[in-house]
C-alpha cells in the first residue's frame, strides 16, 4: 500500500512536535521552577528542595490535601458504584433518559452545576456547606465519566457470552456476578481511577459547594495564586501532576479503548 | 507519612470539638500569632481560625450557611447586615470589664447603637499611599483624590497607579472627590462617579486589592488607593529591603472611608463563654497594641496607646487627628436594589 | 442487539430496576432538581441580605413572590448582552485556534502505526489530566512580565520602536490559556474520526492526479467534518462558562459570563440575577448544541462508516 508522505509528511511531523512542545513546555517550566532557589518564577538561580520542605511544613496545605484525598476516595467509590449501574442500565436496557441525565453534568459548563447545587443545598436542603455537600457534588459529575467508561467496556464484550450464560440457566444477578463483572472489571477500575482524579482536581464545582472551613487542594492552590504566589505552588503542582500521571497510566492499562479515544 | 498524620489531625480536630475550642473567623493577617498563643495559654483552650479577605466573601459564606463560628470580626456595614439578619448574639457587658478602655468616639456607631452586639477591634482608613521619592520628584499633590482621578496628574504617573478592586471603596473615593458623601445612594451621583472612574481608568495599571503592597515595595507602582495598614506594611518592607524611598500615606482633604472592625458573637457559635473571654482579653491595652505594632491598623483602645511604638502613634494615617476624623465616613450597608444597581455600575466600570 | 421485552423474566426485571433506579434517583435529586430550582430562582426577588426572598410571607411589607424583574434587568442595559457576545466570540476564537492547532496533530496520529498511536494519544491526554489551575498558573509564569517570553517579545517590539507590552493580564493571555486547556478535547474526536478514514480513497485520488493539498481539501477534510463538529462542541461549550482563566490571567475588562455569574453569587449576593444569567447561559449552550447536532447530522451522511 502506498503512503503519501514525502514532504507533506515532514510538515506534519514538525507541526505535531510543535504542538506537543506547546502542551508540555509550560508544565515543564512549572516543575523546573519548583526546584528554583528564588521566590520569583522569573529566572533560574539554583537547585533547591526548599519549596518542598516548606510544603511539607505547611499545615493548611496538609489538611487540604487530606481533605481532598478523603473526598476523592469517598466520592469515587460511590460514583463508581452508581456509574457502573448507570453504564449497565444504559447499555443493556437502553435507558435513554438516564443516558441524558448522566452525560449532561459532564457536557455542561461546570459553573452551571456548581451554582445550581449551591442553590439546591441552601434553599431546599438547608444544608450547611461542608464535606457532605462537596462529596455529593463530586459524585454527581463523576457518575457520567464512570458510566461512559463502563459503557465502552460493555460494548466491547461479545453478546453471545450472555446468551450462553442465560441458556445455561444463570439468573441476571449470576450472569452479572460471574460473567459480566469480571469482564468489565478493568473498565470499572479505570472509571474509578478517573473519578478519583477528577475529584482531586476539581475546582469550579468545589468552589461553590465548599462553604467555609473545608479546604481542598485546588481551593488552597487558588487562594495561593490569588493572594501570594510562591514556588510552593510549583511544588504542590509538581506533586499533584506526578500523582495524576501515575493514576492515568494505570487507568490507560486497564481501559485502553478509552485512551484511544473511542467513545 | 505526613499526609496520614494530617488525616489523623483532622479526626482529632473533630474530636476536639467537644473540648475547649474557640472558633474565630477573621480577616487574613489581622491578629498576631503571639497574641493567639498568649490567649491559648491564659484560657487553656485552643483557637481555630478561618480567614476571609473581604466582607463580601464573609457575608456570602455566612449566607451560604457557614456556621459554628463563635467570633467574627466584620466591618461596620457588614456587621449592620448581620445585626439586621438577627445573626448575632447580644453581648454580656458584665463579662467585659476592659470595655472602658475604648475611646468614646468609636462607640455607639449607627450600626450598633449602645454596642449591644459589638466591641471595636481595630480600624483602617482607605487612603493614598505613595513612593516618597518618585512623587516628590514629579511634584504631585497627594492631599487630594484628584491625583487618582484627574488626567493632568495621572499622565505623569501613567501605569504606575493602582486602585482597590472593591466596588464600595472605589465608588466612595470617587463620590468624596465629587463632593458627595461616601454613603450617597443617589443613582445620578453614582453615574457621575462611574464616569469619572472610567475616564481615569486608562491611566491606572490595575484594580488590585492584594499584591499592590508588593509592587509598592518593589518600586514598580508609585501611587495607590489602598488600606492604611497595607501601606504601613509596604513601608516596613521597603525599609527592610534597604530601599532608598519610603512609602508614605496621606488622607485626602475631601475625606476618606474609615473601616471600623468589631468583634461580634455569631448565634451559631458553641462557646460564647470563650468568646467573651477573648473579647475581654483583646480589650486589654497590651494585647490590642500588638496588632497595631504589627500591621499599623488604627486602634480605638486608649489603654493601648502606651504600648504602641511612638512613631506609629504619631502617624496620622494610623491615628488621624480629630480634625481629620471629621472628614472620615463609615460605609453603610446597601439594600438589595442598590446592590444590584451597584453591581451593574461596577460591570460598566470594568468593561468600558 | 435488542432483546424483545417479552423475554424479561421477573428476575430480569428486578435486576433491571436494581441497576437503573439508584443512579436515576441520585441524579434526579442532585442534578435535575437543582436545575429546576435554578430556573425558579431566576423568577424570585433577591433576599434582603442575600440569597432569595421568600415565596410567601405573612408580612405584606416584605418582598416576596415571583417576578420577571431579573429578566427585565438583564435586558434593560446592553452591557449584559455585550458580555454574552464577548464570551461567544472568545469561544469561537478558541475553537478555531484549537482546530487549526489540533488538526495536524490528529492527522499525524491517525496516520501513525498502531503502537505509536496509543502512545501519542496518551501524551495528548496526560497534560489534560493535571489540575486545571496548574495549567492556568503555568501560563502566569510563561507570560509574566519577568519571563523570558515577555522580555523577548518586548525586545522585538523595541526593534520596531513600539512601547513594551504586558503579555499577562490581557485578552491574549486569556485566549492562549483557553486554547491550551481545551486542546485535547479537539484532538481526540478529530483523531477518532480521521483514524476511520479509508486510505484507499486517498490512493484513488492520487491515482486520479490530485496533489497533496487537493487530496486534503476534497477528501480528508469533508470526511472529517463530523469529528470537527464534535471537537468544536466539546471546546465551545465549556469555554462559554469558564471564569477562572479571565479572573487569573485577564485584565480588568476581560469579564466573561462565568465571571459575572460568580460575582452575583459570591460577591453581590444577588442570587436571582445570578440564576437568570445561568439560565441565559444554559439556553445559549443548548442552542449551540442543537445547531451542532443539526450540522453534524447533515454532514454525517457523507462520512465513511
- Say yes or no: B344 and B251 in one domain: yes
B128 within a domain of the structure (yes/no): yes
Closest by CA to A101, choosing from C40, C20, C283, C28, is C28
Both B115 and B131 in one domain: the answer is no
The neighbouring-strand residues paired with B262 are B120
Are C258 and A109 inside 8 Å of each other by CB?
yes
Q: What is the pLDDT of residue A263?
A: 47
Using CB atoms, pick whichever of B7, B63, B210 lies closest to residue A66. Answer: B7
Of C49, C255, C263, nearest to B85 by CB-CB distance is: C49
Q: Taking the alpha carbons of C283, C289, C293, C299 in that order, is the dihedral positive or negative?
A: positive
Angle at A134 between CA A72 and CA A57, to 5 degrees: 60
- All three cell numbers of C10, joined, read 421477573
For residue A38, give the C-alpha cell. 528564588
Pair B56, B137 in one domain? no
Whether B324 is covered by a domain: the verdict is no
Taking an 8 Å cut-off on Cβ atoms, the answer to whether A101 and C111 are in contact is: no
Quick one: CA dihedral B167, B173, B177, B181, positive or negative? Answer: positive
Q: Do the chains contact at A213 and B53, CB–CB below 8 Å?
A: no
| CB burial readout C240-268, b (16+ within 10 A) else e | bbbbbbbbbbbbbebbbbbbbbbbbbbbb
Q: Where would I find the beta strands (DSSP E) of chain A? A: none
Helix axes A181-201, A59-93, angle to 10 degrees: 140
A170 and A178 Cβ atoms separated by less than 8 Å: yes
The domain in which residue B12 lies consists of: 2-121+260-318
Cβ separation A29–C141 shorter than 8 A: yes
pLDDT for residue B6: 63
- Report the number of distinct structural domains present in chain B: 2
Interface check C201 vs A, CB under 8 A: no
Task: For CA atoms A123, A127, A131, A135, give the dihedral sign.
Answer: negative
What is the domain count for chain C?
A: 1
Report the pLDDT value the prediction gives residue A2, as an integer from 0 to 100: 45
For chain A, list residues with pLDDT below 70. Answer: 1-8, 257-263
In a domain, B325, yes or no: no
Alpha helix ranges (H) inside chain C: 10-27, 33-41, 69-76, 78-111, 114-129, 132-143, 148-159, 171-195, 199-207, 212-215, 221-241, 244-249, 257-266, 271-300
Contact A191, A63 (CB under 8 A): no
- Cβ count within 10 A of residue C286: 12
Give the largest CA-CA distance in chain A: 72
Strand partners, B266: B88
Q: What is the ipTM of this complex?
A: 0.87
Instruction: Answer whether B336 sits within 8 Å of C267, measured CB to CB.
Output: no
Examine the domain organization and report whether B110 and B130 are in the same domain. Answer: no
Task: Give the CATH number of the domain where residue C116 resides.
Answer: 1.10.3720.10
Domain identity same for B237 and B157: yes
Whether residue C115 contacts residue C185, with contact meaning beta carbons closer than 8 Å, is answered with no
- Residue of B155, B177, B174, B152 lying closest to B163 (CA atoms): B174
Cell of A258: 478509552
Query: Which has the closest alpha carbon to C257: C266, C244, C248, C270?
Result: C244
Question: Phi, psi at residue B343, to the nearest 5°?
Answer: -60, -40
Pair B289, B172 in one domain: no
**For the residues of A11-39, what is the DSSP string, one character each?**
HHHHHHHHHHHHHHHHHHHHHHHTTBSSS
Min distance C51 CA to chain B CA atoms (Å):
7
Residues in chain A: 263
Nearest to C129 by CA among A22, A186, A194, A188: A194
Q: Return the C-alpha cell found at C279.
A: 439560565
Q: Which residues contact A83 (CB under 8 A, 6 or more apart)?
A: A102, A142, A143, A144, A145, A146, A147, A149, A150, A191, A195, C23
User: Where do we find the cell 499611599?
Assistant: B129
A1 contacts in chain C (CB < 8 Å):
199, 203
pLDDT of residue C37: 93
Residues B232 and B338 occupy one common structural domain = yes
CA–CA separation, A169 and A174 (whole Å) = 9
- Ordered per-residue pLDDT tens for chain C, 305 residues: 444 444 567 888 888 889 999 999 999 999 999 999 999 999 988 887 777 877 776 666 666 778 888 899 999 889 999 999 999 999 999 999 999 999 999 999 988 888 888 889 889 988 887 889 999 999 988 998 888 888 888 899 888 888 888 888 889 999 999 999 999 999 999 998 898 888 888 888 888 888 888 888 888 898 888 889 889 999 999 999 999 999 999 888 889 999 999 999 888 888 999 999 999 999 999 999 888 888 777 655 544 44
Question: Does residue B301 form part of some domain?
Answer: yes
Within 8 A of B207 by CB-CB distance, chain C residues are 252
And the C-alpha cell for C215? Answer: 487530496
Q: Which domains does chain A have, with CATH numbers?
A: 50-260 (1.10.3720.10)
- Per run of 10 residues, the mean pLDDT along chain B (length 352 residues) is 66 58 87 91 89 81 78 91 89 91 89 92 93 92 93 91 90 95 94 96 85 85 92 90 91 93 91 92 91 90 91 88 88 89 93 88
CATH of the domain at B184: 3.40.190.10
Domain annotation covers residue B323: no
Contact C31 A104 (CB under 8 A): yes
Residue found by looking up cell 457559635 in the block: B269
The beta-carbon neighbor of A115 closest among C24, C126, C278 is: C278
Same domain membership, residue B113 and residue B199 = no
Ramachandran bin of C47, using left for φ above 0, alpha for ψ from -120 to 50, beta for the remaining angles: beta
| Same-domain pairing of B157 and B97 | no
Instruction: Count other Cβ atoms within 10 Å, centred on residue A15.
Output: 17
Question: A162: helix, coil or strand?
Answer: helix
CA neighbor of A1 nearest in space, from C165, C203, C194 = C203
Question: What residue in C sits closest to A177 (Cα-Cα)?
Answer: C15
Amino acid at each position: 500500500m502506498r503512503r503519501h508522505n514525502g514532504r507533506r509528511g515532514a510538515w506534519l511531523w514538525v507541526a505535531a512536535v510543535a504542538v506537543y512542545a506547546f502542551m508540555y513546555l509550560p508544565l515543564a517550566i512549572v516543575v523546573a521552577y519548583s526546584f528554583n532557589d528564588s521566590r520569583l518564577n522569573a529566572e533560574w538561580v539554583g537547585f533547591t528542595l526548599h519549596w518542598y520542605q516548606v510544603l511539607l511544613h505547611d499545615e493548611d496545605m496538609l489538611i487540604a490535601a487530606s481533605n481532598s484525598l478523603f473526598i476523592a476516595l469517598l466520592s469515587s467509590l460511590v460514583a463508581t458504584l452508581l456509574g457502573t449501574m448507570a453504564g449497565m442500565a444504559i447499555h443493556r436496557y437502553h435507558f435513554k433518559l438516564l443516558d441524558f441525565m448522566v452525560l449532561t453534568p459532564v457536557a455542561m459548563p461546570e459553573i452551571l452545576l456548581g451554582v445550581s447545587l449551591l442553590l439546591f443545598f441552601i434553599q431546599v436542603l438547608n444544608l450547611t456547606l461542608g464535606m457532605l455537600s462537596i462529596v455529593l457534588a463530586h459524585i454527581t459529575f463523576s457518575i457520567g465519566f464512570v458510566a461512559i467508561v463502563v459503557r465502552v467496556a460493555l460494548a466491547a464484550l461479545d453478546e453471545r457470552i450472555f446468551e450462553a450464560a442465560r441458556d445455561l440457566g444463570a439468573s441476571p444477578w449470576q450472569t452479572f456476578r460471574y460473567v459480566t463483572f469480571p469482564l468489565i472489571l478493568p473498565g470499572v477500575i479505570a472509571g474509578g481511577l478517573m473519578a478519583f482524579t477528577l475529584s482531586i482536581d476539581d475546582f469550579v464545582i468545589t468552589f461553590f459547594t465548599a462553604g467555609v472551613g473545608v479546604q481542598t487542594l485546588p481551593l488552597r492552590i487558588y487562594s495561593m495564586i490569588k493572594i501570594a504566589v510562591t514556588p510552593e505552588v510549583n511544588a504542590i503542582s509538581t506533586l499533584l501532576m506526578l500523582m495524576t500521571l501515575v493514576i492515568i497510566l494505570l487507568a490507560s492499562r486497564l481501559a485502553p479503548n478509552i485512551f484511544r479515544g473511542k467513545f | 507519612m505526613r499526609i496520614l498524620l494530617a488525616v489523623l489531625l483532622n479526626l482529632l480536630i473533630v474530636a476536639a470539638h467537644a473540648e475547649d475550642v474557640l472558633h474565630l473567623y477573621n480577616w487574613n493577617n489581622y491578629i498576631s500569632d503571639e497574641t493567639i498563643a498568649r490567649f491559648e495559654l491564659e484560657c487553656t483552650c485552643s483557637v481555630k481560625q478561618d480567614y476571609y479577605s473581604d466582607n463580601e466573601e464573609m457575608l456570602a459564606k455566612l449566607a451560604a450557611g457557614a456556621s459554628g463560628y463563635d467570633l467574627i470580626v466584620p466591618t461596620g456595614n457588614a456587621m449592620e447586615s448581620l445585626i439586621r439578619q438577627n445573626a448575632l448574639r447580644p453581648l454580656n457587658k458584665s463579662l467585659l470589664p476592659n470595655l472602658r478602655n475604648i475611646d468614646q468616639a468609636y462607640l455607639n456607631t449607627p450600626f450598633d447603637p449602645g454596642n449591644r452586639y459589638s466591641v471595636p477591634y481595630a480600624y483602617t482608613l482607605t487612603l493614598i499611599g505613595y513612593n516618597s521619592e518618585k512623587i516628590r520628584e514629579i511634584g504631585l499633590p497627594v492631599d487630594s483624590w484628584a491625583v487618582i482621578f484627574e488626567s493632568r496628574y495621572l499622565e505623569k504617573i501613567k501605569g504606575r497607579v493602582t486602585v482597590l478592586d472593591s466596588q464600595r471603596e472605589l465608588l466612595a473615593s470617587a463620590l468624596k472627590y465629587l463632593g458627595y458623601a461616601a454613603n450617597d445612594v443617589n443613582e445620578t451621583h453614582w453615574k457621575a462617579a462611574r464616569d469619572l472612574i472610567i475616564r481615569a481608568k486608562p491611566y491606572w495599571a490595575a484594580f488590585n486589592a492584594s499584591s499592590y503592597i508588593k509592587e509598592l515595595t518593589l518600586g514598580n507602582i508609585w501611587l495607590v488607593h489602598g488600606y492604611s495598614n497595607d501601606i504601613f506594611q509596604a513601608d516596613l518592607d521597603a525599609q527592610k529591603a534597604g530601599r532608598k524611598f519610603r512609602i508614605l500615606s496621606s488622607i485626602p482633604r475631601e475625606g476618606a472611608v474609615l473601616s471600623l472592625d468589631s468583634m461580634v458573637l455569631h448565634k451559631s457559635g458553641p462557646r460564647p463563654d470563650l468568646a467573651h473571654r477573648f473579647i475581654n482579653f483583646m480589650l486589654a491595652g497590651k494585647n490590642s497594641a500588638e496588632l497595631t505594632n504589627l500591621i499599623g491598623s488604627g486602634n480605638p483602645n486608649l489603654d493601648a496607646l502606651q504600648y504602641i511604638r511612638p512613631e506609629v502613634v504619631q502617624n496620622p494615617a494610623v491615628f488621624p487627628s480629630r480634625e481629620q476624623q471629621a472628614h472620615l465616613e463609615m460605609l453603610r450597608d446597601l439594600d438589595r436594589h442598590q446592590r444590584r444597581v451597584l453591581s451593574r455600575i461596577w460591570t460598566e466600570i470594568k468593561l468600558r | 442487539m435488542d432483546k424483545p421485552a417479552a423475554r424479561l423474566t421477573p428476575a430480569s426485571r428486578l435486576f433491571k430496576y436494581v441497576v437503573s433506579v439508584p443512579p436515576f434517583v441520585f441524579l434526579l435529586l442532585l442534578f435535575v432538581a437543582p436545575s429546576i430550582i435554578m430556573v425558579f430562582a431566576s423568577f424570585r426577588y433577591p433576599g434582603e441580605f442575600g440569597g432569595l426572598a421568600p415565596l410567601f410571607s405573612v408580612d405584606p411589607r416584605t418582598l416576596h413572590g415571583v417576578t420577571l424583574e431579573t429578566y427585565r434587568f438583564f435586558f434593560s442595559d446592553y452591557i449584559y448582552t455585550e458580555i454574552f457576545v464577548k464570551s461567544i466570540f472568545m469561544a469561537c476564537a478558541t475553537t478555531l485556534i484549537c482546530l487549526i492547532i489540533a488538526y495536524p496533530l490528529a492527522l499525524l496520529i491517525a496516520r501513525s502505526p498502531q503502537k505509536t498511536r496509543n502512545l501519542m494519544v496518551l501524551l495528548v491526554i496526560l497534560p489534560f489530566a493535571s489540575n486545571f489551575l496548574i495549567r492556568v498558573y503555568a501560563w502566569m509564569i510563561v507570560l509574566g512580565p519577568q519571563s523570558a517570553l515577555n522580555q523577548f517579545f518586548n525586545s522585538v517590539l523595541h526593534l520596531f520602536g513600539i512601547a513594551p507590552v504586558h503579555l499577562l493580564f490581557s485578552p491574549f493571555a486569556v485566549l492562549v490559556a483557553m486554547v491550551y486547556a481545551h486542546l485535547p478535547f479537539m484532538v481526540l474526536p478529530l483523531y477518532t474520526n480521521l483514524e476511520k478514514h479509508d486510505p484507499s480513497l486517498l490512493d484513488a485520488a492520487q491515482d486520479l492526479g490530485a496533489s497533496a493539498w487537493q487530496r486534503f481539501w476534497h477528501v480528508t477534510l469533508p470526511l472529517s467534518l463530523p469529528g470537527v463538529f464534535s471537537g468544536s462542541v466539546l471546546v465551545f461549550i465549556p469555554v462559554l462558562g469558564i471564569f477562572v482563566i479571565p479572573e487569573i490571567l485577564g485584565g480588568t475588562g476581560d469579564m466573561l459570563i462565568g465571571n459575572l455569574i460568580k460575582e452575583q453569587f459570591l460577591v453581590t449576593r444577588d442570587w436571582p440575577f445570578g440564576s437568570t444569567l445561568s439560565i441565559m447561559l444554559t439556553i445559549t449552550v443548548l442552542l449551540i448544541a442543537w445547531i451542532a447536532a443539526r450540522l453534524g447530522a447533515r454532514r454525517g451522511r457523507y462520512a465513511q462508516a
